[in-house]
């Protein structure tokens, strides 16, 4: 028996600063209806899906900045999405900027939630790998101030949902092997990842032509090396003059792309994913208990010609060939 999960990518085209949340939620609801018509059980939306990608601006006024964050979820603007999920029996993953008051302190996170087909929040994830910079860098064509506007989250966890074991990550997390491995070590069978990736990489413009390739490379490697499905979903197209990649895709545990969005607009694509396809990878090539060598993964630090283990113990290094 196969545990099939029909997953929809709810790729969004650009959201301009003047677009209000109500109009974005209307677009998402339309996509959720289309996903349902195509047989989807769950739809994955991008990172920071409710507004334009505001970390591209250096914003000094706190009230102006706060306007991009959600202080509660659901709220008046997003409620229609939750109500539609309940009506259609379709779950969703949604990325948004979260402003929380914790221990009397204002805290900001780049967050994703997982919502059941009953319209209930069943898991929350706060982005761990925050790219970019914390100070204004006027030499850039546009800013990437995630390090200023968000705190890193505590880590990666899995949730039993949609008949399987589901993980969440956000955008830059997908470039890090650790993201998938930490989820894989918890038995993750499918990871949802929303992203906003400008084509232009200011510190490394020579990589601009590779931005789509690197996206897919990371998603495919993460899926294969951990025997899990990976669903990467973009906010794409030209937003406030900044062009972002599309290339949303669903990757099987084999590392093969089974579905891919073709535009840089609002687009829904669905794949029928057997969660049981993970097991053959998890039980053979990537049987972690049998084949991983955690004892060999300790950090080795080179200092002043000496080679030290992570705990500072000097190591005898064997020369190659000996
Ligand atoms: N939103 C992101 O995390 N974007 C980064 C950019 C800055 C490279 C990404 O890794 O796609």
Q: Per residue in 205-252, pLDDT tens?
A: 999 999 999 999 999 999 999 999 999 999 999 999 999 999 999 999
Regarding the beta carbon of 195 and ligand 1, being less than 6 Å apart is answered: yes
Asked, for residue 73, whether it belongs to a domain, the answer is yes
Asked, for residue 298, whether it belongs to a domain, the answer is no
Asked, for residue 272, whether it belongs to a domain, the answer is yes
Least confident range from 82-91, 254-263, 270-279, 288-297: namely 288-297
Asked, for residue 149, whether it belongs to a domain, the answer is yes
The model's pTM: 0.94
Residues facing 76 on adjacent strands: none
From the number of C-beta atoms within 10 Å of its C-beta (0-12, 13-18, 19+), residue 12 rates as buried
Report the pLDDT value the prediction gives residue 96, as an integer from 0 to 100: 99
Asked, for residue 241, whether it belongs to a domain, the answer is yes
CB-CB neighbours of 240 under 10 Å: 15
Asked, for residue 284, whether it belongs to a domain, the answer is yes
Alpha carbon dihedral 68, 40, 214, 189, in 10-degree steps, equals: 100
Q: Does residue 320 register a pLDDT over 70?
A: no
Regarding the beta carbon of 172 and ligand 1, being less than 6 Å apart is answered: yes
Report the pLDDT value the prediction gives residue 217, as an integer from 0 to 100: 98
DSSP state letter for 70:
B
Say how many Å lie between the CA of residue 105 and the centre of ligand 1: 27
Beta strands in 171-209 (DSSP E): 190-195
In the chain, pLDDT over 70 holds for what percent of residues? Answer: 98
Q: How many domains does the chain have?
A: 1
Instruction: Report the CATH number that the domain containing residue 40 is assigned in CATH.
Output: 3.60.110.10
Domain that holds residue 251: 4-293
Asked, for residue 79, whether it belongs to a domain, the answer is yes
Residue 96, SS3 per DSSP: strand
Say how many Å lie between the CA of residue 177 and the centre of ligand 1: 15
Q: Answer yes or no: are the C-beta atoms of 146 and 132 closer than 8 Å.
A: yes
Protein residue with its CA nearest to atom 4 in ligand 1: 197
With a CB cutoff of 8 Å and minimum separation 6, the contacts of 201 are 207, 208, 211
Residue 182, SS3 per DSSP: helix
Asked, for residue 104, whether it belongs to a domain, the answer is yes
Residue among 116, 204, 126, 212 at smallest CA distance from 170: 126
How far CA 314 is from CA of 248, 297, 311, 320, in Å, comes to 47, 16, 9, 18
């Amino acid at each position: 028996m196969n545990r099939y999960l029909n997953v929809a990518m709810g790729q969004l085209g650009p959201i301009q600063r003047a677009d209000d949340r109500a109009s974005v939620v209307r677009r998402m609801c339309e996509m959720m209806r289309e996903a349902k018509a195509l047989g989807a059980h769950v739809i994955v939306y991008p990172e920071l899906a409710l507004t334009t990608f505001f970390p591209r601006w250096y914003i000094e006024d706190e009230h102006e900045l706060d306007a991009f964050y959600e202080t509660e979820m659901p709220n008046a603007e997003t409620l229609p999405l939750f109500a539609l999920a309940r009506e259609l029996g379709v779950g969703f993953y949604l990325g948004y900027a979260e402003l929380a008051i914790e221990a009397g302190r204002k805290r900001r996170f780049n967050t994703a939630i997982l919502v059941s087909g009953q319209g209930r929040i069943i898991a929350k994830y706060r982005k761990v790998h925050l790219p970019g910079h914390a100070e204004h860098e006027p030499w850039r064509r546009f800013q990437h101030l995630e390090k200023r506007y968000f705190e890193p989250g505590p880590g990666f966890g899995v949730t039993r949902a949609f008949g399987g074991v589901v993980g969440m990550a956000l955008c830059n997390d997908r470039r890090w092997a650790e993201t998938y491995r930490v989820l894989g070590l918890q038995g993750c069978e499918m990871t949802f990842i929303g992203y906003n990736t400008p084509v232009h990489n200011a510190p490394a413009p020579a990589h601009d032509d590779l931005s789509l390739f690197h996206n897919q490379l990371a998603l495919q490697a993460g899926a294969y090396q951990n025997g899990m499905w990976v669903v990467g979903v973009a906010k794409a197209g030209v937003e406030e003059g900044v062009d972002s990649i599309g290339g949303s895709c669903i990757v099987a545990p084999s590392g093969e792309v089974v579905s891919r969005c073709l535009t840089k607009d609002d687009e829904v694509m669905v794949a029928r994913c057997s969660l049981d396809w993970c097991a053959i990878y998890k039980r053979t090539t990537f049987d972690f208990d049998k084949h991983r060598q955690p004892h060999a993964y300790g950090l080795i630090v080179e200092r002043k010609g000496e080679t030290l283990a992570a705990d500072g113990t000097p190591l005898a290094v064997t020369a190659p060939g000996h």
